[in-house]
């Protein structure tokens, strides 16, 4: 192993490290943004009701059925 050996880091890894140094609150901002849309509590009773109320889809949804007209 050379005397001045240093492990390889990609350009992307270096960019992210520099970005985190420049904006120390970045991860906190990302978590806040994620919480706006994704991290929501789920109502299991409502989900079960939605599943029960689901109507079966026809095999080919765009086919017109002339017998019902």
pLDDT for 19: 96
Per-residue pLDDT of the chain (69 residues; tens, 9 = 90+): 567 788 899 999 999 999 999 999 999 999 999 988 888 888 999 999 999 999 888 788 787 766 655
Q: How far is 37 from 30, CA to CA, in rounded Å?
A: 12
pTM across the whole model: 0.48
pLDDT for 67: 63
Q: Is 55 helix (H, G, I), strand (E, B) or coil?
A: coil
* Helices 26-37 and 11-22, axial angle in degrees (round to 10): 90
- Dihedral of alpha carbons 16, 22, 28, 33, sign: negative
pLDDT for 66: 62
């Amino acid at each position: 192993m050379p005397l001045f050996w240093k492990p390889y880091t990609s350009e992307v890894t270096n960019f992210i490290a520099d970005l985190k140094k420049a904006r120390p609150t970045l991860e906190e901002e990302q978590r806040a943004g994620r919480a706006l849309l994704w991290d929501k509590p789920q109502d299991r009773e409502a989900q079960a009701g939605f599943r029960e109320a689901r109507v079966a889809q026809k095999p080919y949804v765009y086919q017109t059925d002339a017998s019902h007209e």
